Amino acid sequence: MASSKIARKNLLEDKTRFIVAQAGILFAVSLVTIQLGILRGFTRSTAMLVEYSSADLWVAHKEFVHFELTSSMPAENLQTASQVAGVDRAEVLMVRSGRWRNTEGELSTIRIWGFNPNSGMFAGWPIVQGKLADLNQPYKVFLDSASVASLDVSKVGDTARIGNLPVEIVGLTEDTKSNASSAYVYTSLETANAYGTAEFSSAITCSRRDDGSLDCNNKYSKVDQNGVLKSPPPPERLDLGDPITYIMIRAKSGEDLNALKIRLKNKMPDTVVFTTDELAKLTRNYWEDRTSVGFILGLGATVGFIVGMVIVGQILYASVADHIREFGTLKAMGASNWVIYSVIIEQSLWMAVLGYLPSMAFCLGLSKWTLSAKGVLILIEPTTAASVFVLTLFMCVGSAVFAVQKVTRVDPAIVFKA
C-alpha cells in the first residue's frame, strides 16, 4: 500500500534520527523489562525452596510472617503431627542463622537449612555436584553454586567454619539462591542444630598464658589458634524440646487437604497450616506488598515507559514537521485523514517492533549473565515478554497521537505556498 511505503520512507529517510529513536526505544524497553524481570525473579526466589519441595502441607508456629520469618516450635510437635489421621509422612525443617568464616577469618551471614538428607521431601532442587547422602556425615554442607564466590570458596572439598565448628562443602546446588536473603547453607538436622548454637558454645574455656597467647580447652577436644575444634564431637540428635521451624507433611493418597489441615490445627492449637501454594503466595505477597521492593521496581518500569513515550513522541513529531508539505499534498489530492493517520501510526509500529526485538535479545542475554555470574535472577517469562511487547506498542502508538495532532491542522493550501 502507498501509506506503508510512505511510512517506511519517512522512517528511514534520516538514518541518524532513526538510530537515535531506536536507541531510545531500546533503552526504555530494556529498562521496563529488566525492572519487571528483577521483580518477578526476586519474588520467585523468596519462595522457590517451598515450590521445589514435595510436601503437601506445612505446619508453622502461629507467629508466622513469611517463609524465613516465623517463631520456632518444639520438636515434639513432629510426633503429634505424625499421629494425625491422613498423614503419610512428617518431617522436620529447621532454619537457623549463622556466621560463616572463611579460611582468612572473614565473616559472612548465612541462612542454615537443616533437613533429612535421606528424603526428597524438601530437597527437590537441582544438584550440580555431590550426593545428598553425604550430608549424613557431621559438618558437611551443600551450597548454591551462585553463593560460593560470596562465601570465598570455589569448589567441593573447600572448608570454612561456622562459629567454632568446621565446615566442609560436599555438594553444590543451582537455582536455590534467594535475592532477599543471605547465602543458603544446606545440611542435616543434627548439624544445623549444632551450627545454630556454635556461636554461643559454653564448652570452650580460654585463659591467657604468660607469653600472651591463649590456652583454650574444650570438655571434648582442643581448639586450634583460629578457634576451630580439632576433633569436634558428633552433633547430637534432636531432643523433643529442641526448637524447629516447620513440619512438612505428605498426605496419604486421595486425602482431602483442607480436612487434614483442620485436623492438624486442632491437634496443635498454637500452629498454622498451609498448603505449598499458600505458603509460597504468602511469602511473595509479603515481599511485594509489605516492603518497598515492589514499589521501587515498579517505579523504575514506569519511568522507563515515560522516557520511551517522550523520545518516540519527539521523533515522530519532528518527522511530521519535516514532511508537512507532503501531508498537505496528500490532503489536496483528496486523501482522507485516516490515510494520513495510518502513515504515522504504521511508522510508530515499525519503531516499536524494531526497538523491541534487539532490546529483548539484550535483556535475555543479560539475565543469563547475571544468574551465572552473580546469582541474581532476572526472570523474563513468555508472559512477561508478551506484556512488554504490548506495552511497547502502546507506548509508540500513544506517542503517535501527539504527531497526529499536527497533521490534523494541516491546510492543503500549504502546498501552493512558497
- Joined together, the cell numbers standing for residue 381 give 517469562
The predicted model gives 197-202 an average pLDDT of 61
Cα 305 to Cα 17, 65, 254, 288, 318: the distances in Å are: 20, 34, 49, 21, 20
- Joined together, the cell numbers standing for residue 334 give 483528496
- Joined together, the cell numbers standing for residue 76 give 515434639
Taking the model in full, what pTM does it have? 0.78
The predicted model gives 14-42 an average pLDDT of 82
Q: What is the pLDDT of residues 185-194, one digit of tens each?
A: 999 999 999 9
| pLDDT: which is higher, 374 or 212 | 374
Coil vs helix vs strand at 214: strand
Buried b (16+ CB within 10 A) or exposed e, 66-86: bbbebebbbbebbebbeebeb
> What does the alpha-carbon distance between residue 363 and residue 360 come to, in Å, rounded to a whole number?
5
Smallest CA-to-CA distance from 48 within 125, 117, 116 is with 125
Q: What is the pLDDT of residues 68-127, one digit of tens each?
A: 999 999 999 999 999 999 999 999 999 999 999 887 778 889 999 999 999 889 998 999
> What does the alpha-carbon distance between residue 4 and residue 74 come to, in Å, rounded to a whole number?
72
250 contacts 89 by C-beta, under 8 angstroms: yes
**CA 112 to centroid of chain Cα atoms:** 19
DSSP 222: B
CA dihedral 133, 280, 297, 18 (to 10 degrees): 80
- The pLDDT of residue 212: 57
Assess whether pLDDT exceeds 90 at residue 208. no
Smallest CA-to-CA distance from 242 within 279, 192, 204 is with 192
Q: What is the pLDDT of residues 30-47, one digit of tens each?
A: 888 888 888 888 888 899
Three-state secondary structure of 20-75: HHHHHHHHHHHHHHHHHHHHHHHHHHHHHHHHHCCCCEEEEECCEEECCEECCEEC
Assess whether pLDDT exceeds 60 at residue 215. no
